[in-house]
Amino acid sequence: MSGAVGGEARGGDPGARWRPWGLLALGLLSASSVLAAAPAAGAMSRDEKRRLGSQVLEMFNHAYSNYMEHAYPADELMPLTCRGRVRGQEPSRGDVDDALGKFSLTLIDTLDTLVVLNKNKEFEEAVKKVIKDVNLDNDIVVSVFETNIRVLGGLLGGHSVAIMLKDKGEYMQWYSGELLHMAKELGYKLLPAFNTSSGLPYPRVNLKFGVRNPDARTGTETDTCTACAGTLILEFAALSRFTGASIFEEYARKALDFIWEKRQRSSNLVGVTINIHTGDWVRKDSGVGAGIDSYYEYLLKAYVLLGDDSFLERFNTHYDAIMRYISQPPLLLDVHIHKPMLNARTWMDSLLAFFPGLQVLKGDIRPAIETHEMLYQVIKKHNFLPEAFTTDFRVHWAQHPLRPEFAESTYFLYKATGDPYYLEVGKTLIENLNKYARVPCGFAAMKDVRTGSHEDRMDSFFLAEMFKYLYLLFADKEDMVFDIEDYIFTTEAHLLPLWLSTTNQTISKKNLTTEYTELDDSNFDWTCPNTQILFPNDPMYAQSIREPLKNVVDKSCPRGIARVEESLGTGPKPPLRARDFMASNPEHLEILKKMGVSLIHLKDGRVQLVQHAIQAASSLDAEDGLRFMQEMIELSSQQQKEQQLPPRAVQIVSHPFFGRVVLTAGPAQFGTDLSKHKAGTRGFVATIKPYNGCSEITNPEAVKEKIALMQRGQCMFAEKARNIQKAGAIGGIVIDDNEGSSSDTAPLFQMAGDGKNTDDITIPMLFLFNKEGNIILDAIQEYEAVEVLLSDKAKDRDLEMENMEQKFLENDSHKQSSDETLRSQDPSLVSQQPAEDENSDTVHLDSLSVDADTDSVSISNQDSYILEDHEASIQETECTKLNNQPQEQTEMETDSDSNVNWDDDKVQPMESILADWNEDIEAFEMMEKDEL
């Protein structure tokens, strides 16, 4: 291709050097040749693939048309209340709202998705709307990172496919680079953020006033995340090469150079948060998930798009460190950059789901298959990937905002292996989205994957990425109107043409990397592979890697890291983990000695763990001891939280909701335990008189065999329950009398008893905050007969009744008015994070104490860090037990009465141990404040 559109320079075919990398970077290896080797028995038929592709199109139409009808020109759709989310008009969601800039975010983010899905006419109309309606000069503070990947990337992706369609001669013949002009305008509005001595950008910028200006309301920040500063090069370089203005690429390169210089030299890892002025690491934990993820992605893809070898060498250096320290197949666990053998967390976040796809680009297929399979097992257990989950695959943070990273990796793995298994994975994703997330006005994010409750949000990335990857997963080459292999995906899945690699190359490519980097040659084995030999000829290759992992997520008693590693037979025996420790196991006690940990008995009958670093066999054993003590503290905290009751669900199952509306409710510590009654309690609701339920019910005929609604206040909850039970109610819902209260902002509420025996209360009781309760009250006003289901978590919606209703509506004249009535409701499905997830994963204790007859332990760590006074219990659970043991078998020497002989050359000086650990203590304290 040649010529110019709207002033942008364009280059020709970059040649053979880049073509293979284009194939690899998109994961688009020859699908036909790979599929030919796949076993016929497991292959998906062409008709089934087409059916699923058509289903993806229908789902996209449902989400996109509802955004355009109910939300545009707002930034995002609120699918439960069927209206647009306008920043400042809705309650603040904190940093999440920094993506909203009153610039029709979802439409811009979706532009090139329309073309990928062959919706060229809709694309042409959307571009005209963006040109006509979108204003980039708003007085509003936005995230530099989010605005870059979503808006700047969306405009550039739209421009890329617009000029492609124009060249084809049917669509966009009027187009003269208007999207590129808008992208350039936005690029200049982002540049003030880079006004720092380091070159790292401020995390936020005012679109109208920049930073530091008194009207800007930004410019005082000192910290930014590594991904925030390191995920600019693709969009900024593309803007420079499209327009010929080199300043954008120069600024993005300077930021990347600074991060590279500040990496921890001994581990070659980077931290999560960095000071934009000094370059000091503020948070020193390192992983491949939130806060770092796309930094690694952009190093590799910058090499692909720009052809600068230094980016590839940097990526390979980091990748070598990741595989040494962070990768614990199939897990990816955060570590400390200064002490990379020490895990910084016992949980993983969902953003790391992109990493298997990046490993496909790297050519490292085995660990990609392993991690992807582990993630898929978690999804099969919870229907969606929780925002964070523990190493034994329990929910840590229960939200799921319809993130696309797992679908992205699924697409790449299918294109790399041709294994039809990944088509079945994609089919599962489609089914779960339709079954659990689809609502009348779009798709709603999950507030809690355990209860099935929703959140009133549909982020722009859902349209920009999810449907793009799912459609490409099932599409054949002939289904596409252009060759996807000519483009590279940004982190937001926007398309940038590979011919940019030879266009406007105004940047020096001086290689600064190898001056001080020594790498194992094997690290480069798969740097630029020949696709003919990349994968073994054995068509069962991917399956053979997945097979050992098929039961890695056990429903009844999840296996920990140690058990996973042992089952895989990989590496040396892992260190002792707190969750596996048994005081009755002599081998475990011996390991404690080696780590400098003593188990002693207190006079009150309790036992106590005490660590003395100087008594550890080596500095590494001392580190293991610190990790073990920290894990034991976290385990205690987590199990203490689990004693609290989880949230319950109130699901509206009558017309026109049919189970789509799920409200998260607080449980009662009395009455029917819904977790033991899987069918739940189903019935129509009725408002009682008096509404407070504090005296005999005066309308028992209206309440009998129904679920009673009542107001909070004026008497004990148990008294309300007894009164409605006497009136014949089969359940009760207490609605908060605090106007405007919502589980969006308030912690989970549990209704306590009255201090007396409550065994006489045999009906279920649930609590709804004011906002959620009003949803039911409004539904009663509109429809009179409202039926709900009280349960431990949401059930499948009533498809049979829904289908019957749909047929009725199609033959009845009031169909349109019913739809409009439904949209007028405010089914804001909200859920509060359950108690076990509210606090951070690290708890500082002075002692961890339990009854002696359970043989549990208490912890103190006299020589490592100062701990606050706190006491928590370890309860014996199904999966974690501290077995009973006679006292004489568990006694160990204290620091003053030790007969253990330690080799002098293995003992590290106390000052050195404490100095090293001070850094770790700071990191643990920072992790307490950790947020995605």
Q: Which residues are annotated as a binding site for Ca(2+)?
A: 491
Q: Can you read off the two tokens belonging to residue 423? A: 């088509």
Q: Can you read off the two tokens belonging to residue 771? A: 């906002």
480 contact partners, CB below 8 Å, separation of at least 6: 116, 118
Choose the catalytic residue: 98, 124, 308, 387.
Answer: 387
Q: Give the CA dihedral 96, 101, 103, 106, nearest 10 degrees.
A: 0
Q: Can 293 be counted among the known catalytic residues? A: yes
Closest CA to 706 of 723, 681, 689: 681
Is it true that the peptide bond before 91 is cis, omega within 30 degrees of 0? no
Q: Can 387 be counted among the known catalytic residues? A: yes
By the 10 Å C-beta count (0-12 exposed, 13-18 middle, 19+ buried), 37 is classed as middle
- The residues facing 841 across adjacent strands are none
Choose the catalytic residue: 109, 112, 293, 798.
Answer: 293
Q: Which amino acid type is present at position 715?
A: C
Helix, coil or strand: residue 373 = helix
- The residues facing 78 across adjacent strands are 83
**Up-side HSE of residue 820: CA atoms within 13 Å toward CB?**
4
Q: Please provide the DSSP assignment of 75-114 as one string.
A: SEEETTTTEEE-TTTS---GGGGGG--SS-HHHHHHHHHH
Choose the catalytic residue: 146, 223, 373, 455.
Answer: 146
Q: Which amino acid type is present at position 507?
A: I
Measured distance CA(315)–CA(293) in Å, rounded? 12
Q: Which amino acid type is present at position 122?
A: E
CB 145 within 8 A of CB 200: no
- Number of neighbours of residue 373 by Cβ within 10 angstroms: 24
Q: What phi-psi label fits residue 468: left (phi over 0), alpha (psi between -120 and 50 degrees) or beta? A: alpha
Q: Can 146 be counted among the known catalytic residues? A: yes
In degrees, to the nearest 5, what angle opens at C-alpha 762 toward C-alphas 756 and 768? 85
Measure CA of the first residue to CA of the last residue in the chain; give whole Å. Answer: 43
Measured distance CA(203)–CA(190) in Å, rounded? 10
Helix, coil or strand: residue 646 = coil
252 contact partners, CB below 8 Å, separation of at least 6: 232, 233, 235, 236, 237
Q: Which residue has the tokens 């030299």?
A: 265
Which H or E element spans position 516? Answer: none
Choose the catalytic residue: 405, 408, 459, 492.
Answer: 405
Q: Which residue has the tokens 């041709």?
A: 418
Strand ranges in 449-572 using DSSP code E only, listed in sequence order: 453-455, 487-489, 495-497
Annotated binding site: 491
Is it true that the peptide bond before 656 is cis, omega within 30 degrees of 0? yes
Inter-CA distances, 643 with 148, 638, 669, 798, 881, Å: 44, 9, 12, 33, 15
Helix, coil or strand: residue 411 = helix
Judging by DSSP bridges, how do beta strands 731-735 and 765-768 pair with one another?
A: parallel
Residue 479 dihedral angles phi and psi, to the nearest 5°:
-80, -10
Catalytic positions are 146, 293, 387, 405
